[in-house]
Amino acid sequence: MTIHLSIVLWLPAVAGVLALAARRFAGWVTLAGSLLAFAYSVVLLIDFNASSGSLQYVTDEAWIEQLGIHYKLGVDGLNLALIVLTTFGFTACTLWAALERDVARTPQFFFWMGLAHSAVLGALFAQDLILFVLFFDLMLVPFFFLTLIWGPTPRPDRVRAILKLFIYTLVGSLLMLAGAIATGVLSLPNEATTFVLSDLERIAMDEGSQRWIFLCFAAAFLVKMPAFPVHGWMPDGYRNMPLPVLAVFSAVLSKVAAYGFLRVVMPLFPDAAAEFQMLALLIALASILYGSAMAFTTTETRLILGYSSVAQLGFITLGVFALDDAGDGAQGAILQSVNHGLVVLPAFFIVGLLAARAGSEDLRDMGGVAFRAPVLAGLFLIVALATLAMPGSANFVGEFMILFGVFDVKIVIAIVAFTGVVLASVYMLRMFIRSMHDRVGPSVDSRDIRVRDGLVLVPLVAAILFLALYPQLPLEKGEQTIPSRVQSARQVLAGEEIAVDPREAAAEAAEAEEEAERAREGEGREP
């Protein structure tokens, strides 16, 4: 039992509250909170015992005992890398917002940023289904306000976009909440209700209930990603968010949805997951193709990135539902979530820099920006090549694992999905060339980045390069955990009896948890 995770979880929110009082220094206070959370998460990453597949640094308090809802947090190989991505992304975007001098950001802005940070961390840490749902829904609240108040577009547009986003997520959230409650109620009809995930995992629910609860959760996650064809909120939402907010929204929030599939859906509803595998793979494939096609026809730079996210999330979904023997697809999906987050953050930042030089965010107004901006061009090039998953980037490793996972199981889908790989090179290079290269646009003022911009951009690019050299780091942290998340669904698919009695496995896992905790305390190591 440790308090570490609670500290990491609430630090940013506390900093956000303090920011309300800090007035002029609001940005820096929130930044300090995010930075501390980031540092803490890096320590967790280093200290994390990768050879153990069980939860570590667990906090478990009964919260609403009558209903069996616990305040249970924990870290394992599944969420570790995403936690570091979250703290890193929020730190970068808070720094970016704090450095923006030409836009008025009141302390309130930073309060919402801090709250959003905590909410996302909560959704990732949560080991209780209700806690997960609450944090998952809480995540959106700050973004509503951030968009509504600080969006770059006229207010009526923002309101409309928010309304759209609301309706989509409302439907998803309600379905998910219903599914979560049903899971708790239906799982243990004769025992006390519990929502703790590790308890729920050891119960085999009947297939009929699994089926509809699966659909509830899937709807919520697919909307959040977004996946084709429920991405209708995305274009309006993306157009109307302030860039630093959009960057973190696109980089982090969509990953929580992919994570949700592996944390909740796969182990809890394995029969349904196996049954709907084909449907999910087809939705993922459609997202890849449709997202790519939209990305190479639109001229709005934000939407190129937006639709490329739809395509990339399609790859991630493909990996989640690959259900191959070795779990390569799922491991690739988590790696790819981290990678995509890391490339989207600098990409949106670059959109901001391009817009400042061309006077608009439309590709047609750009051209030749690289003329007097070699540093910007170089950094953008690295980001663009990583985004199109060029071999040598960690994005390629993720894609390779995902596609091999699918190839192993459904070869035709993998081959069609490769179209998305080719199309990615078309839309990213098109964006790079039409903004940076060709004749200098009439209203383009080509100038290189300032030191201030470099403070945000260079660490992000450095992170991309580091992972490109050593993707093994996130991979080996997840090796023990991630394949086991999809194991039961895979066994259902293969028609095998679920090998280990899940009850025993869960009991063993709990024992191992305690043991790991004891060992940690015995060694006197503090994360």
Partner 1 sequence: MTSVKTFAWLTLLFPLAGCIVNALGYRVLRGKAPGYVGTAVLFASFVSAVLMLFALQDLAAEERHVRAVAWDYMAVGGFDGQLALLIDPLSAFMTVTITGVSSLIHLYSVAYMGGDRGYARFFSYLNFFVFSMLLLILAGNFIFLIVGWAFVGAASYLLISFWFRRTTATAAGIKAFVINVLGDVGLVLGTFFIFRGTGTLDYLGAFEKAGEISGGDVTAGCILLLVGAFAKSAQIPLHTWLADAMEGPTPVSALIHAATMVTAGVYLIARMWPLFEESESAAAVGAIIGCLTLFVSATIGLVVTDLKRIIAYSTMSQIGYMVMAVSSGAYVAGIFHFYTHAFFKALLFMAAGSVIAAMAGVQDIDRMRGFRGAMPFTFGCFVIGGLSLAGVPPFAGFVSKDEVLAYVADRGDWHVALVVVGYITAFITALYTFRLIFRVFFGEPSPEARELEEGHLHHADVPRNPMTGEEEDTDVGFPGPEHHIAEREGPMKGAMGVLAFFAVFAGFLQIPNVTDALDTFMEPTFEGSRFHEELHPSDALTFGGLAIGAAFSLAGIAVAYLIWMRRPEIAAQVRERFRPLHTLFVNKWYADEALDRLFVRPAAWFGRFAQQTFERVVVNGLFVGGPVGLVRAGSAAVRSRQSGFLRAYAALMVVGLTGVVLWLLIRA
Residues 442-471 that bind partner 1 (CB under 8 A): 470-471
- Considering only residues 230-259, where is the footprint of partner 1 by CB under 8 A? 230-233, 235
The span of 80-88, 276-284, 345-353, 424-432 binding partner 1 (CB under 8 A) equals: 424-432
Residue 286's contacts (CB-CB under 8 Å, 6 or more residues apart) are: 228, 229, 314
Tell me: does residue 491 bind partner 1 (CB under 8 A).
no
Selection from 242, 9, 240 nearest residue 106 by Cα = 242
How far apart CA 347 and CA 93 sit, in angstroms, is: 12
The span of 95-103, 197-205, 227-235, 237-245 binding partner 1 (CB under 8 A) equals: 227-235
- Provide the minimum distance between the beta carbon of 383 and partner 1 in the complex, in angstroms, as a whole number: 13
3-state secondary structure 297-332: CCCEHHHHHHHHHHHHHHHHHHHHCCCCCCCHHHHH
Selection from 130, 145, 115, 311 nearest residue 226 by Cα = 311
Biggest distance spanned by C-alpha atoms of the chain: 73
Q: Among residues 90 and 404, whose Cβ is nearest to partner 1?
A: 404
Q: Among residues 220 and 397, whose Cβ is nearest to partner 1?
A: 397
Q: Choose which of 333, 379, 436, 444 interacts with partner 1 (CB under 8 A).
A: 436
DSSP state of 410: -
The alpha carbon of 122 is separated from its chain's Cα centroid by a whole number of angstroms, namely 13
DSSP β-ladder status, 69-75 and 56-64: antiparallel
* x-or-dash string of contact with partner 1, 290-319, rule CB under 8 A: x--xx-xxx---------------------
Q: Among residues 91 and 331, whose Cβ is nearest to partner 1?
A: 331
* x-or-dash string of contact with partner 1, 97-126, rule CB under 8 A: ------------------------------
Selection from 402, 300, 310 nearest residue 354 by Cα = 300
Selection from 286, 280, 263, 260 nearest residue 323 by Cα = 280
- Provide the minimum distance between the beta carbon of 32 and partner 1 in the complex, in angstroms, as a whole number: 31
- Provide the minimum distance between the beta carbon of 39 and partner 1 in the complex, in angstroms, as a whole number: 26
Q: Among residues 278 and 411, whose Cβ is nearest to partner 1?
A: 411
Q: Among residues 175 and 247, whose Cβ is nearest to partner 1?
A: 175
How far apart CA 127 and CA 59 sit, in angstroms, is: 9
For residue 229, is the peptide bond before it cis, meaning its omega torsion is within 30 degrees of 0? yes
Q: Coil, strand, or helix at residue 470?
A: coil
- Provide the minimum distance between the beta carbon of 407 and partner 1 in the complex, in angstroms, as a whole number: 5
For residue 483, is the peptide bond before it cis, meaning its omega torsion is within 30 degrees of 0? no
The span of 78-86, 118-126, 246-254, 433-441 binding partner 1 (CB under 8 A) equals: 433-441
- Provide the minimum distance between the beta carbon of 477 and partner 1 in the complex, in angstroms, as a whole number: 10
Q: Among residues 2 and 419, whose Cβ is nearest to partner 1?
A: 419
Q: Is 144 exposed, middle or buried (0-12, 13-18, 19+ CB in 10 A)?
A: middle
Q: Coil, strand, or helix at residue 439?
A: coil
Tell me: does residue 421 bind partner 1 (CB under 8 A).
yes
Q: Among residues 127 and 173, whose Cβ is nearest to partner 1?
A: 173
Overall residue count recorded for the chain in this entry = 527
Q: Among residues 12 and 398, whose Cβ is nearest to partner 1?
A: 398
- Considering only residues 140-169, where is the footprint of partner 1 by CB under 8 A? 163-164, 166-168
H helices of 188-321, where? 197-201, 207-224, 233-240, 243-248, 254-260, 266-268, 270-275, 277-295, 301-320
- Provide the minimum distance between the beta carbon of 174 and partner 1 in the complex, in angstroms, as a whole number: 5
Tell me: does residue 422 bind partner 1 (CB under 8 A).
yes
- Provide the minimum distance between the beta carbon of 173 and partner 1 in the complex, in angstroms, as a whole number: 8
How far apart CA 129 and CA 180 sit, in angstroms, is: 7
Using CB under 8 A as the binding criterion, the count of chain residues that bind partner 1 stands at 76
- Considering only residues 390-409, where is the footprint of partner 1 by CB under 8 A? 390-392, 396-397, 400-401, 403-404, 407-408
The span of 39-47, 178-186, 347-355, 452-460 binding partner 1 (CB under 8 A) equals: 178-186
Beta bridge mates, 128: 196
The span of 1-9, 94-102, 349-357, 386-394 binding partner 1 (CB under 8 A) equals: 386-394
**End-to-end alpha carbon distance in the chain:** 13
The span of 24-32, 83-91, 181-189, 516-524 binding partner 1 (CB under 8 A) equals: 181-189
Q: Is 154 exposed, middle or buried (0-12, 13-18, 19+ CB in 10 A)?
A: exposed
Q: Among residues 138 and 186, whose Cβ is nearest to partner 1?
A: 186
Q: Coil, strand, or helix at residue 509?
A: helix
**Residue pointed to by tokens 């910007």:** 376
Q: Choose which of 42, 178, 204, 458 interacts with partner 1 (CB under 8 A).
A: 178
Tell me: does residue 437 bind partner 1 (CB under 8 A).
yes
The span of 6-14, 191-199, 426-434, 501-509 binding partner 1 (CB under 8 A) equals: 426-434
Identity of the residue numbered 456: V
How far apart CA 340 and CA 386 sit, in angstroms, is: 9
Q: Among residues 108 and 480, whose Cβ is nearest to partner 1?
A: 480
Tell me: does residue 514 bind partner 1 (CB under 8 A).
no
Tell me: does residue 174 bind partner 1 (CB under 8 A).
yes
**Residue pointed to by tokens 């309101």:** 159
Q: Choose which of 412, 472, 515, 526 interacts with partner 1 (CB under 8 A).
A: 472
Tell me: does residue 131 bind partner 1 (CB under 8 A).
no
